[in-house]
C-alpha cells in the first residue's frame, strides 16, 4: 500500500506488537501524532515531562518483556528523556525512544534545539541511529525491536527528521514481527554445572536480571527447591523468586541481611543466573570480588558480551533465562544430595523480613510496614525510586507476585510515580503502590496529573523527613554534625493529591497511618498518604543520626 512515512512507522509498530506509547507531544513529530489518532491498536498516554515518559516506558518494558515505547521532541525533550534511557540500560529493560529531530536541511548548523542524537545516546543505549530514508522505516523498526529484546535487553534510540516524516507515497512493505532468540543451554555445560553443584559444600545462587520472566521464575524455583539450593535475588529483583519458596534467602543490595552476606562470603560455589553482578548487588564489588578467590563461579546470562566481562568465570553458559531454568528443572539431579542450606537460609530471611510491631518513633517505619503487610495484598506492585525510604520496603515487603517490584537498579530518583502510572495502566485490577521519599516524589510527582487524566487507581505513600535522607546519612558518617544542602522545605502532599482530584491524608503517628491506609484501600482513584517521619530513623538497618554522630 502507498503510505505516508508516519503512517508506515505506526503500522510497523503495530506489527511488532506495540500496544501503548508514552509521550509528551512536540511539533517535530506532528505527522506521527496525526497517524496515531487513527490507530485503534495503540493506546497513546500523554504525560507531563519527558523524564516521566521514559520512566513509564522503561517500567512497561519491565512488566511485559516487550519494548516500552516513548516519543519525545528534540533538544530539551530528548535530554529530559535521557534519564529513562540510562535506567533502561543499567536495568537491562527493553525500550525504544523515538525523537522528533530537526529537518535534515537544518542539520549541522546548530539549528533550533539541534543535538546529534546518535552521538548523545550512544554511551547509554544498545543502539542509537537516525532514520533518514523513509523507505527504510520497516528495516529500522524491526532492527530496533530486535535489538531491544535480544541478548541483554536494553534501550534503542531512533531520531526522526521532521521532513522525513512528511514524506508521502512510500511503498515499502511492513516487516513481520520479530521474536526474542531463545537459545537453550549447552547440554555438556549443563552436565558440568550439575557436577560442580553436586561437589560443592556450600553453594548459593543469585537470580534475577536480564530476560527474567514468569517462566524462568517458575522453573528455577522448582529446580532450586528440589536440591535445597539457597537462592538470593540481585538488587531490586526480589520478585525473581516467590518469597514463599522454601529456599528463598532474601535480597542483596543496600542493607541486606547480615546472615545472607555471610552466606555469600562462605559459599564455595556461586551460581549467578541472569544478574550482572553489578556494584549494588556485590556491595561495591567487595562482597564478591571480580577474582573471588576460593569461590567457583557459574554465570548464566543471555548475552555473551556480559559473560567474563568483569568477573573471572569458571563456567559460562550463554542461554535464554527461561530455556536455562526449564532445562535445569527437567535435569536428572539424583546424583545431587539435597542441601540443608536452602531451608536454613529461608528461615534466616523470614526472621529478617518479619517487621516488628513495637514503636520507637511516633511514626515508626518498621511498624508501618507491619500495617502495610496486614492491609495490602501480597502481590501488590510496589514502585519506588531512590532513597533510604526504599530500604524498609526492600527488607519487609514480600513481593509475592510477578511482576511486583518496579524499582531502578540505576538508583534514579523520581521513578516511582511514573512507574506506578504505567503499572496501573497495564494492570488495572491489581493494587499499585508508589512509595516515595519527599525528595523523590517531587522529582516526578506531576505525573499524578497523568493518572488523573486516565482515571487510574494507584496509592502513593510519601515518607517526609524534610531531608535528602540518603545523602544526610552519608554526611553524618563522613562529616558528623555538619549538615549541608540536604534540608528540604515541603508542601502539604495530601493537599497536592486533592488538587489532582484524589484523596489525601497527612499522618504523624502509627495509629494515624493504619487508619489512613485502611481508608485508602477501600476506595479507588488517586490516594496519597503523607507520612511525617523523624530524620533520626535514617535506615531500615537501624542507622540513626545520633548513632552516626556518636560513632
Q: Tell me which residue of 197, 250, 241 sits closest to 216, measured CA to CA.
A: 241
Output the pLDDT for position 111.
81
Output the pLDDT for position 107.
83
Domain regions of the chain by residue span: 5-165, 187-349, 354-550
Report d(CA 488, CA 498) in Å as an integer: 22
Count the helix, strand and coil residues of the chain and give each as a percent rounded to the nearest 5: 40, 15, 40
Q: Which residues contact 175 (CB under 8 A, 6 or more apart)?
A: 12, 15, 138, 139, 141, 142
Check if CATH label 1.10.10.10 holds for domain 5-165: no
Residues of the chain with pLDDT below 50 are: none
Output the pLDDT for position 104.
86
Report d(CA 68, CA 263) in Å as an integer: 37
Output the pLDDT for position 274.
96
Residues 73 and 33: beta-carbon distance below 8 Å: no
Apex 153 CA angle, 282 and 206, nearest 5: 30
Output the pLDDT for position 210.
84
Apex 315 CA angle, 244 and 325, nearest 5: 35
* Residue whose C-alpha cell reads 523480613 in the numeric block: 353
Output the pLDDT for position 418.
98
Output the pLDDT for position 105.
85
Report d(CA 368, CA 462) in Å as an integer: 12
Residues 490 and 344: beta-carbon distance below 8 Å: no
Question: Is the fold of 187-349 the same as that of 354-550?
Answer: yes
Report d(CA 548, CA 551) in Å as an integer: 5
- Domain 187-349: give its CATH code: 3.40.50.1220
Output the pLDDT for position 112.
83
Helix (H, G, I), strand (E, B), or coil: what is residue 215? helix
**pLDDT for 338-368, tens place per residue?**
999 999 999 999 999 998 767 789 999 999 9
Output the pLDDT for position 114.
84
Level-2 CATH architecture, domain 354-550: 3-Layer(aba) Sandwich (3.40)
* Residue whose C-alpha cell reads 504523624 in the numeric block: 508
Amino acid at each position: 500500500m502507498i503510505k505516508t512515512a508516519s503512517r508506515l512507522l505506526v503500522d510497523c509498530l503495530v506489527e511488532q506488537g506495540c500496544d501503548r506509547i508514552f509521550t509528551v507531544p512536540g511539533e517535530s513529530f506532528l505527522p506521527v501524532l496525526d497517524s496515531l489518532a487513527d490507530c485503534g491498536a495503540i493506546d497513546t498516554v500523554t504525560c507531563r515531562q519527558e523524564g516521566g515518559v521514559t520512566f513509564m516506558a522503561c517500567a512497561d518494558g519491565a512488566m511485559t518483556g516487550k519494548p516500552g515505547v516513548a516519543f519525545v521532541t528534540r533538544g530539551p525533550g530528548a535530554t529530559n528523556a535521557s534519564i529513562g534511557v540510562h535506567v533502561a540500560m543499567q536495568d537491562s529493560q527493553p525500550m525504544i525512544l523515538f525523537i522528533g529531530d530537526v529537518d535534515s536541511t537544518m542539520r549541522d548548523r546548530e539549528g533550533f534545539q539541534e543535538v546529534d542524537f546518535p552521538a548523545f545516546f550512544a554511551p547509554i543505549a544498545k543502539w542509537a541511529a537516525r532514520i533518514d530514508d523513509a523507505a527504510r522505516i520497516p528495516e529500522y523498526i524491526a532492527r530496533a525491536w530486535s535489538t531491544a529484546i535480544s541478548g541483554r535487553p536494553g534501550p534503542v534510540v531512533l531520531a526522526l527528521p521532521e521532513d522525513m516524516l512528511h514524506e508521502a507515497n512510500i511503498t515499502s512493505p511492513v516487516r513481520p514481527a520479530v521474536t526474542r532468540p531463545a537459545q537453550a543451554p549447552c547440554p555438556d555445560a549443563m552436565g558440568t554445572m550439575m557436577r560442580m553443584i553436586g561437589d560443592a559444600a556450600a553453594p548459593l545462587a543469585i537470580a534475577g536480571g536480564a530476560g527474567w520472566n514468569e517462566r524462568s521464575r517458575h522453573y528455577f524455583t522448582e529446580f532450586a527447591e528440589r536440591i535445597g539450593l539457597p537462592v538470593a535475588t540481585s538488587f531490586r529483583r526480589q520478585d525473581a523468586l516467590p518469597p514463599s519458596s522454601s529456599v528463598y534467602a532474601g535480597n542483596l543490595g543496600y542493607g541486606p541481611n547480615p546472615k545472607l552476606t555471610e552466606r555469600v562470603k562462605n559459599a564455595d560455589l556461586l551460581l549467578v543466573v541472569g544478574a550482572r553482578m553489578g556494584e549494588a548487588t556485590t556491595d561495591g564489588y567487595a562482597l564478591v570480588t571480580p577474582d573471588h578467590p576460593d569461590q567457583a563461579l557459574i554465570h548464566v546470562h543471555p548475552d555473551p558480551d556480559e559473560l567474563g566481562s568483569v568477573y573471572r568465570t569458571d563456567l559460562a553458559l550463554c542461554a535464554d533465562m527461561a530455556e536455562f531454568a526449564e532445562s535445569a528443572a527437567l535435569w536428572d539431579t539424583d546424583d545431587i544430595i539435597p542441601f540443608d542450606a536452602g531451608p536454613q537460609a529461608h528461615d534466616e530471611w523470614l526472621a529478617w523480613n518479619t517487621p516488628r510491631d513495637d514503636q520507637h518513633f511516633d511514626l515508626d517505619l518498621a511498624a508501618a510496614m507491619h500495617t502495610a503487610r496486614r492491609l495490602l495484598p501480597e502481590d501488590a506492585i510496589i514502585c519506588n525510586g531512590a532513597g533510604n525510604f526504599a530500604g524498609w520496603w526492600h527488607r519487609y515487603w514480600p513481593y509475592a507476585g510477578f511482576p511486583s517490584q518496579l524499582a531502578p537498579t540505576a538508583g534514579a530518583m523520581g521513578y516511582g510515580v511514573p512507574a506506578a502510572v504505567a503499572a496501573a495502566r497495564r494492570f488495572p485490577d491489581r493494587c499499585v503502590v508508589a512509595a516515595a521519599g519527599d525528595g523523590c516524589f517531587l522529582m516526578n510527582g506531576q505525573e499524578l496529573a497523568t493518572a488523573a487524566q486516565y482515571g487510574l487507581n494507584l496509592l502513593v505513600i510519601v515518607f517526609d523527613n524534610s531531608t535528602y535522607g540518603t545523602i544526610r546519612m552519608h554526611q553524618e558518617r563522613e562529616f558528623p554534625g555538619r549538615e549541608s544542602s540536604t534540608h528540604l522545605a515541603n508542601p502539604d502532599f495530601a493537599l497536592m493529591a486533592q488538587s489532582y482530584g484524589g484523596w489525601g491524608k497527612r499522618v504523624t503517628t502509627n495509629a494515624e497511618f493504619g487508619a489512613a491506609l485502611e481508608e485508602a484501600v477501600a476506595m479507588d482513584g488517586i490516594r496519597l498518604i503523607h507520612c511525617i517521619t523523624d530524620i533520626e530513623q535514617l535506615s531500615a538497618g537501624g542507622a540513626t543520626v545520633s548513632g552516626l554522630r556518636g560513632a
